[in-house]
Amino acid sequence: MDLQHWLNEALANHEKWTADYGTFTPHSSLQVDPTVFGSALAELQDRLRDNYPFFHPRYAGQMLKPPHPAAVVGYLSAMLINPNNHALDGGPATATMEREIISDLAQMFGYSTQHLGHLTSSGTIANLEALFVARSLHPTQGIAYSAEAHYTHSRMCGVLNMEGHAVQADNRGRMDLDALETLLKTGKVGTVVVTPGTTALGAIEPVHEVRELTRRYDARVHVDGAYGGFFTLLAGTDLPAAPWQAIADCDSVVVDPHKHGLQPYGCGAVLFKDPEVGRFYLHDSPYTYFTSDELHLGEISLECSRAGAAAAGLWLTLRLLPLTRDGLGEVLAAGRRAAVRWSEMIRESDSLELYQEPELDIVTYFPRTDPRTLSAIDAASHRVMDTGMNAPEDPIFLSVARASRAAFEARHPGITADADGARVLRSVLMKPESEDYLDTLHARVLSLLAR
């Protein structure tokens, strides 16, 4: 895709729009010397070289990749105007786009046309809002989440002064339902957080079973789909349908367009099934909400200023890659296929072992060592990551995750547990290009191990 062309197009259109308002002289305080600009920019570009090549399939580490060109062009187009989606006073166009996006997301999750939602700056803020609403509805009860849930939940329970209960995980890294039921019986839990796609292992927690269970104990369910939410598009084809179908019956859901939605950072989303929870956000603002009697997004969110450009970037992206199996779904499906195939190659290899079966697009694995001890595995995993990223000619970039001794033993009973845990290799295959690059990547990991 010709980014240069579309950027030029965006700039030309912006100039046309500004020309409608007539010319004026920019203030001298804002003028900069083009030579100084040139050298400062060169310095910036040089400093930015100190980065990992997230765009390239030789980067198979953390959950990172650049935005789609459509997101860049959409974001830039709006950023030149710099609307603030806090209120319609801050720019009606991108606020309307945000509402259209939220309606698309609601449809993807199976929510009815009656719902409440908005974009946020991140998954952290989106989850904070869901827990804030949970507290408003059940002020005397706490929150349950699995031990494998994102650490934001226990942190935000602290921020909200609520009791957080970590529920033990099973040997696939999912919330243990018997442990959850024991906890629900105490009556201490008002809302259960369930994660279809955990951040470390990509494990799919059983949203449908958690929903069933919580009904018996009058607890609400919040779905943390920051990473896994967009896999809804593959539910029932490449993935089991039930966990994602059950989101429609849950009270709230979070998804991060800046993870699997091809957006630059600064784009999360939270949706509530019951629009009535908007009452908990009730506040007045002496400065805003004056241009229109329609709902201003700031009236239903905890954040104030928020980039309208984030909505524009996502809106344009979804026009080109809609929330369908063949649209954005195909991007996720390629990563998923890559994860499945790589896990097969790892299983057949003499020098690698799978830590656990990938359920989405995250592969966890470790070198076969002699002796087969946690300390040897830990050192070998780290060595592969380190030598891979520091190989000047042909680098590859992997990441590691720490597995506790108990988690390791549950998956690999034969292991000699001579330490508290071990780092294992972890690759998030979230770029569709990973699929075609897999043979090269695998061969490269093997060659590092052969050294």
Ligand X SMILES: *Cc1c(COP(=O)(O)O)cnc(C)c1O
Binding site for ligand X (CB under 6 A): 122-124, 127, 150, 152, 195, 199, 224, 226-227, 256, 268
Query: Minimum distance between the CB of residue 422 and ligand X, rounded to whole angstroms?
Result: 22
Closest CB to ligand X: residue number: 123
Based on the number of CB atoms within 10 Å of its own CB, is 137 exposed (0-12), middle (13-18) or buried (19 or more)?
Answer: middle
Coil/strand/helix, residue 59: strand
Contact 34, 378 (CB under 8 A): no
Max Cα-Cα span within the chain: 76
Query: Minimum distance between the CB of residue 269 and ligand X, rounded to whole angstroms?
Result: 10
Contact 420, 404 (CB under 8 A): yes
Residue 183 or 430 with smaller CB distance to ligand X = 430
Query: Minimum distance between the CB of residue 127 and ligand X, rounded to whole angstroms?
Result: 6
Query: Rounded to whole angstroms, what are the CA distances from 102 to 162, 182, 253, 386?
Result: 28, 36, 12, 41
Query: Minimum distance between the CB of residue 126 and ligand X, rounded to whole angstroms?
Result: 7
Query: Minimum distance between the CB of residue 427 and ligand X, rounded to whole angstroms?
Result: 16
Query: Minimum distance between the CB of residue 257 and ligand X, rounded to whole angstroms?
Result: 10
Contact 153, 131 (CB under 8 A): yes
Residue 118 or 444 with smaller CB distance to ligand X = 118
Rounded to an integer, what distance in angstroms lies between the CA atom of residue 297 and that of residue 93? 12
Contact 231, 239 (CB under 8 A): yes
Residue 123 or 190 with smaller CB distance to ligand X = 123
Residue 150 or 411 with smaller CB distance to ligand X = 150
Rounded to an integer, what distance in angstroms lies between the CA atom of residue 321 and that of residue 436? 21
DSSP-derived pairing of the beta strands 220-225 and 189-194: parallel
Closest CA to 328 of 103, 71, 42: 71
Residue 195 or 427 with smaller CB distance to ligand X = 195
Residue 59 or 230 with smaller CB distance to ligand X = 230
Query: Minimum distance between the CB of residue 63 and ligand X, rounded to whole angstroms?
Result: 7
Residue 77 or 121 with smaller CB distance to ligand X = 121
